[in-house]
Amino acid sequence: MSPSAKLFLRGLLKNISPSNARPGKNLRETPTLSGTEFDLAATLDQGRSTSHSQRAIQTSIVIPVFNKAEFTWQCLGSLVRELDFSNVEIIIVDNASTDNTEAVLARFADYIRVISNERNAGFVDACNQGAAVAKGKYLVFLNNDTTVLPHWLDYLVETVEENPAVGAVGSMFLYPNGSIQEAGAIVWQNGEAHHYGWGATPDDRRYNFAREVDYCSAASLLIRKEIFERLGGFDRRFAPAYYEDADLCFGVRALGYKVIYQPGSRLVHFEGGTAGADTTKGFKRFQITNRGKFVEKWRAVLEQEQLPQDLKQVVAASDRNRDRPRVVVFDERVPTPDRDAGSLRLLMILKTLAAWSHVIFVPFNRPKSDDYEQALWQQGIETADAVDYRKLLKHDHVKAAIVSRPSMGSAFIHRIRGLNPNVTLVFDMVDTHFVRFQREYEISGQKAALSEAKRYRKIEGRLAQASDLVWCASPEDKQAMERESPNTRIEVVPTIHELHDAGKAFVDRQDLLFIGNFAHRPNEDAVLFFMREVYPLVRKRLPNVCLDIIGDHASDAIKAYESDDVRIAGYVPDVEPYLRNARVFIAPLRFGAGIKGKVGEAMAHGVPVVTTSIGAEGFGLTPGLDVMIGDDPASFAEAIARLYSDEELWERVAHNSRRRIEAHFTPEVIAETINRSIKKL
């Protein structure tokens, strides 16, 4: 699975939502050492850490501490509950604490390394000390007056792993009452710092999408170690503390890297818990002193790149890509890429556009849970409500509006034209509906399908003529639409597939596999056709072969076939294990349009496919070379039997089909079509 797919899927499986990523009821403004915050003994017994010398460290967490043992107690407890210590180390730099800190650290001795200073060296020097002995390729600086929330570290690491241009990543900070303390930080032209989102609710979508920012507070900040070392660590002119994090992030950017705010990474920060809040005394006074040093060091950058201090400009200042062109994408619902191929295609399109534009996704309907929407936010894709479409389209930087499916086209295309005639209008058909319904009528003879075919022919033709550009999912769909709208520019944007390794060998695989969402009628028809007319023939040739059927919304008619030989799994969040173990993928589609995502996904995993001529549309496949075709029960069953039994044939089809995906259907290849088609208009 690719890094981007892992990041997206992990977001879904973790089920992190703003409501359950808030501080727990047991968090207090001032924690105690009573043990009531968590069961320390039970937490430590969950798994002892491997010795430091035996571990391959990926991430080093550096925590400077000075007194406030109660905060350190709670912080370390949250880390022990959260972290996988097989590749993470925690380095505590004790700045000559005089309270119970030593006793607290002793309780966590199996999980931490401790550097003990004879004097309070301050935040800057303590962090540099910890970084100097760190073994990880990523450094995470963390305050001890914090409590990390579920998967806090995962999102930091995955964000930097996903994109080599990212040099540093910061978290969303929450107050103990659940409100936002910081959702990325701003530096105004005069050097004044501003915590974006202060006091707001973490439910607010404005603070929930990843974006490039001026800086993120070093109370929770990941940076690549090689970059930290190139910069010479935290600049000592900002010792003992304050403005060192803003300075570090400006340095990251000066080296050509990005600083990203990642809202999936969340923690509670007891602000002022260690340094206090009075800027006239103690370490806090350096907040004022160091601002002048920061302005002196970065004066040219501040004057050229930063906005003048003006709270009316706070939204613009919160995003360093504020001048990027905007692309607004309308669809019926939030994409569910683990459930249907159309959603996976849309996700890939959104990610492709986000590489060069500010993408705002506008769903007409939302599910009760926002898990899927959060997965978009973590990829840097903003979301908005459909009722706000007027405001979105009147923004100065809007370049294009993409309207997906005929239902959304009918609702929005004429409105978009009226609001902003300068916007490039793209009608993304997903598939050609009138072709699909016409084919269904030819199979079923149902007059309702014929009526729908006639209705959609008119709708899709009209919408195409009203658009600047039409995206079709297959060359066959493009040909059909060229007849309906001959003067419209039409491009093919098929399903998009990230290439996977070839997986297991022929001899290590077994059984047949079908994947498809049964809310889509072609899938329902395909499985029922296969079970009634094809599978009995297959069993005669291959009496021991079994079939796995995966997909949402299976009907009672499909469920009736469940047996020891036919395993109906329903919805499965991660189908990769099935694709790695199946010997043959079947797609017995008798009608449909566009390009079939299930077929492309199987080929991308190195699983050879038996399908129909309709199922193979759009891929440019050659029977016997990179696919097996059967358009009637006997030929379909024969194709399965041959492919299942002939290792040489199996290896040829598996290898060539995977190469076909690599050459024509990966994100890198399709991105050229997507970006070129919009940018040149």
> What local confidence, expressed as pLDDT, does residue 29 receive?
61
Q: Using the predicted structure, report yes or no on whether residue 3 has a pLDDT greater than 60.
A: no
Whole-number Cα distances in Å, 626 to 90, 600, 647, 653, 656: 50, 12, 14, 4, 5
pLDDT class for 43, splitting at 50, 70, 90? low
Q: Report the percent of the chain where pLDDT is more than 90.
A: 83
pLDDT class for 240, splitting at 50, 70, 90? confident
Do the domains at 56-317 and 326-491 have one common CATH topology? no
Higher pLDDT, 6 or 392: 392
The residue-averaged pLDDT of 198-223 equals: 96
> What local confidence, expressed as pLDDT, does residue 30 receive?
63
Place of tokens 């590749």: 87
pLDDT class for 417, splitting at 50, 70, 90? very high
The residue-averaged pLDDT of 255-261 equals: 98
Catalogue the E-assigned strands of 589-643.
Answer: 609-611, 628-629
Q: What is the CATH number of domain 506-665?
A: 3.40.50.2000
> What local confidence, expressed as pLDDT, does residue 54 receive?
57
When computed from its CA atoms, the radius of gyration of the chain, rounded to whole angstroms, is 28
pLDDT class for 33, splitting at 50, 70, 90? low
Closest listed residue to residue 593, CA positions, set 612, 609, 619, 615: 615
Residue 362 has phi, psi (to 5 degrees) of -120, 100
What's the one-letter identity of residue 464? A
> What local confidence, expressed as pLDDT, does residue 16 receive?
35
> What local confidence, expressed as pLDDT, does residue 289 receive?
85
pLDDT class for 27, splitting at 50, 70, 90? low
The answer to whether residues 474 and 593 touch, using CB atoms and an 8 Å cutoff, is yes
Q: Using the predicted structure, report yes or no on whether residue 533 has a pLDDT greater than 70.
A: yes
Total-model pTM: 0.85
The answer to whether residues 507 and 654 touch, using CB atoms and an 8 Å cutoff, is no
Q: What is the per-residue pLDDT across 4-20, written as a single tens digit (0 to 9) for each? A: 444 444 444 343 333 34
Q: Is 424 helix (H, G, I), strand (E, B) or coil?
A: strand
Spell 527-555 as b/e; 16+ CB within 10 A means b.
bbbbbeebbebbeeebeebebbbbbbebe
Q: Is 212 helix (H, G, I), strand (E, B) or coil?
A: strand
> What local confidence, expressed as pLDDT, does residue 15 receive?
38
What's the one-letter identity of residue 494? P
The residue-averaged pLDDT of 599-615 equals: 97
Q: Using the predicted structure, report yes or no on whether residue 605 has a pLDDT greater than 70.
A: yes
Q: For all residues of the chain together, what is the average pLDDT?
A: 90
Domain 56-317 has CATH 3.30.420.40: no
Q: Which contiguous run of DSSP H or E holds residue 352?
A: helix 341-354
Q: What is the per-residue pLDDT across 137-186, written as a single tens digit (0 to 9) for each? A: 999 999 999 999 999 999 999 999 999 999 999 999 999 999 999 999 99
The answer to whether residues 223 and 167 touch, using CB atoms and an 8 Å cutoff, is yes
Q: Burial of 277 by CB count in 10 Å (0-12 exposed, 13-18 middle, 19+ buried)?
A: exposed
Domain 326-491 top-level CATH class: alpha beta
Q: Is 147 helix (H, G, I), strand (E, B) or coil?
A: strand
> What local confidence, expressed as pLDDT, does residue 278 receive?
47
Q: What is the per-residue pLDDT across 265-324, written as a single tens digit (0 to 9) for each? A: 999 999 764 444 444 444 555 678 889 999 999 999 999 999 999 999 999 999 999 999
Contacts of 621 (CB under 8 A, 6+ apart): 627, 657, 660
pLDDT class for 41, splitting at 50, 70, 90? low
Q: Using the predicted structure, report yes or no on whether residue 28 has a pLDDT greater than 80.
A: no
The residue-averaged pLDDT of 13-37 equals: 48
- Cα end-to-end distance, the chain, whole Å: 35
> What local confidence, expressed as pLDDT, does residue 275 receive?
47
Domain extent listing, the chain: 56-317, 326-491, 506-665
